Structure 1
């Protein structure tokens, strides 16, 4: 037995998200997901922002409804890692979400990209455990069918970005030189910890998943450069947040 044997095509599991989370009347169909608590704290102070419900993950994480221009959007802070982010996403889908915009940092696998540069992932390497419970194991990469739309919006906004594959791994401290080289040879521009899992959950549940990443640290040239890790100023975080909000607004019918 291995993780490759985990996939079961049965649609119903013993424990379903609906057992833990009930639909919420008026829940926004489009939800923005951040890793930055400072951004949800900022949005919580905007006029009209209200708490819809809480996600219980050892502590209570609020899901907000925010008014952005002509749209009402959902917003919450997710946790790091495939298992945590995917499980939280399942409960948000059960409450009524139909599309997600996830944005966060990544480790660049090339020195050609400056710190803070945007990447639109076109596909995610499945080097984590969650996706193998949602999709058959035959394909190593999960394509992000929404990448062209994400790229279109960023182009309209005049924001520079690149497109390419990302490597999703659970093993933060096992990104070895051999595996970095392998992923680079396959066309990966960066490494993250959630994309493949969240894409698999959304594909299985029939909801839309959009993601963009920004480079923070760097693993190119066989050594680690912390780059902007832990140093990103608040105004930069808020600039990425505004891009996510604008993407959410434009993909919401």
Structure 2
């Protein structure tokens, strides 16, 4: 079988009809996005009979990292749907022969560790306490996940002592002493609710497809979505920008500019505040030909002591909004493209810009950021709070485009009272836009 035949067959079986096969064959990122959509359909099925066959087909992909990313997503999805560790072990055992036969040693080892991580996670979920050696043998990722989510005092106590990093040990220590854990007020895994947001449909065919905005010339492939209106308005003067279009008045009428950064054309526009509006701008820009996106904006500081203007690169987002659930399976977190995050971090490092990577909290309701909710998100490891990142990440994965975001610490919600800190006039904003434009040329 050829890669074309494999991909065509998988897409047909999953009833995913809007993937450009030729582009997917040329671009491993587009192909990976297609695999993720196929596996999303597979994970949602009641029967697990086809899992081994589909995994075997994907593992024939010549790009081992693409196949690994896709299979990890399936393993994660099945684990999050399963309550019984023995059932998960049996399911994973059915995939092992294909992994061992087709995967390179490094990727195979990663998958084995991932399966072990989830088995321990599910064991804890049943109320049992694993041996200390099992906790100590978990990956950093799973140790942090358990430290952030578990309400088991014995498990948190073990992570306080044996967590692999200081951050993991501190999270476990702080949560072990929290009122929520002491009183067991918050279940570790939230019970499923019968609400429309959980009814994800992976089909790419909406009744109303996104249409490009009116443009006087083609949109550059590289795009900056800038939340700073004074920066966008000043582009003709500061960058010699040319206005090439605008969004409809119903969406706010935001202008679309074309600048040139280091010889590379870059489109720039303000996407509007809030996930539903920002995603409409994002979708239309993708429909117009945008493929590499960087967003830059401000965010509230959830972590105490985060200085005004400190740059944050989100590597994950807590999905406390609604839009992302129409583009990705329900989950508590959605993760950023690690390669795009590495590019952003490298750009900051090249300019000696202080920065952190971490989880952001995406909410739809800024006036409901209550002290209790802020405290809970801080215990969960969130650095910032904003209104778009989770949705941006979900759309980027669903549509197969590259995306990364820069945030800067603005107003402070980490204390007992809100501190505005004059964040909308912070001097960092033009500099952050310049970094975003540079990053867009490097994605």
Q: Fold match, TM over 0.5?
A: yes
Range with greater deviation from structure 2 (223-232 or 212-221):
223-232
Q: Secondary structure at the match of 2:243?
A: strand
1:12-51 correspondence to structure 2 within 5 Å: 12-18=205-211, 21=213, 26-46=218-238, 49-51=241-243
* Relative contact order higher in (CA < 8 Å, ≥ 6 apart): 1
Contact 1:3 1:132 (8 Å CA) reproduced: no
Larger radius of gyration: 2
Range with greater deviation from structure 2 (2-11 or 196-205):
2-11
Q: Which residue of 2 aligns with 1:217?
A: 411
Q: Which residue of 2 aligns with 1:199?
A: 393
Do structure 1's residue 112 and structure 2's residue 312 form an aligned pair?
Answer: no
Q: Secondary structure at the match of 1:93?
A: helix
Q: Kindly tell me: are residues 110 and 26 of structure 1, through their superposed partners in 2, closer, same or farther at Cα, counting changes over 3 Å? A: same
After superposing on structure 2, the runs of 4+ consecutive aligned residues of structure 1 that deviate more than 4 Å are: 20-25
Q: Kindly tell me: are residues 39 and 23 of structure 1, through their superposed partners in 2, closer, same or farther at Cα, counting changes over 3 Å? A: closer
Q: Which residue of 2 aligns with 1:136?
A: 329
Superposition CA RMSD, Å: 1.9
Q: Secondary structure at the match of 1:196?
A: helix
Match of 2:293 among 100, 105, 114: 100
Q: CA deviation at 1:176?
A: 1.4
Question: 2: distance between equivalents of 1:153 and 1:73?
Answer: 17
Do structure 1's residue 56 and structure 2's residue 248 form an aligned pair?
Answer: yes
Contact 2:213 2:248 (8 Å CA) reproduced: no
Q: Secondary structure at the match of 2:234?
A: helix
Q: CA deviation at 1:185?
A: 1.5
Q: CA deviation at 1:57?
A: 3.9
Structure 1: gaps (5+ residues): none
Question: 2: distance between equivalents of 1:94 and 1:22?
Answer: 11
Match of 1:72 among 265, 279, 288: 265
Whichever structure has more strand as a proportion of its residues is 1
Question: 1: distance between equivalents of 2:249 and 2:277?
Answer: 9
**What TM-score do you get using the length of structure 1 for normalisation?**
0.91
Do structure 1's residue 157 and structure 2's residue 157 form an aligned pair?
Answer: no
Range with greater deviation from structure 2 (93-102 or 25-34):
25-34
Cα deviation per residue 1:197-232 (whole Å; 9 max; x = unaligned)?
Answer: 111111111001110100111111333211233342
Cα deviation per residue 1:30-80 (whole Å; 9 max; x = unaligned)?
Answer: 101111221122212356522222111424222111111211100001211
Q: CA deviation at 1:143?
A: 0.5
Contact 2:246 2:254 (8 Å CA) reproduced: yes
Question: 1: distance between equivalents of 2:294 and 2:302?
Answer: 23
Count residues with an aligned counterpart: 247
Contact 2:343 2:439 (8 Å CA) reproduced: no
Q: Kindly tell me: are residues 111 and 46 of structure 1, through their superposed partners in 2, closer, same or farther at Cα, counting changes over 3 Å? A: closer
Question: 1: distance between equivalents of 2:228 and 2:440?
Answer: 17
Question: 2: distance between equivalents of 1:44 and 1:23?
Answer: 17
Question: 1: distance between equivalents of 2:288 and 2:424?
Answer: 33
Do structure 1's residue 174 and structure 2's residue 368 form an aligned pair?
Answer: yes
Q: CA deviation at 1:241?
A: 1.4
Structure 2: gaps (5+ residues): 1-193
Do structure 1's residue 90 and structure 2's residue 90 form an aligned pair?
Answer: no
Q: Kindly tell me: are residues 23 and 206 of structure 1, through their superposed partners in 2, closer, same or farther at Cα, counting changes over 3 Å? A: farther
Question: 2: distance between equivalents of 1:48 and 1:191?
Answer: 33
Contact 2:312 2:408 (8 Å CA) reproduced: yes
Question: 1: distance between equivalents of 2:429 and 2:435?
Answer: 10
Cα deviation per residue 1:151-187 (whole Å; 9 max; x = unaligned)?
Answer: 1221122111011100000110111122112211211
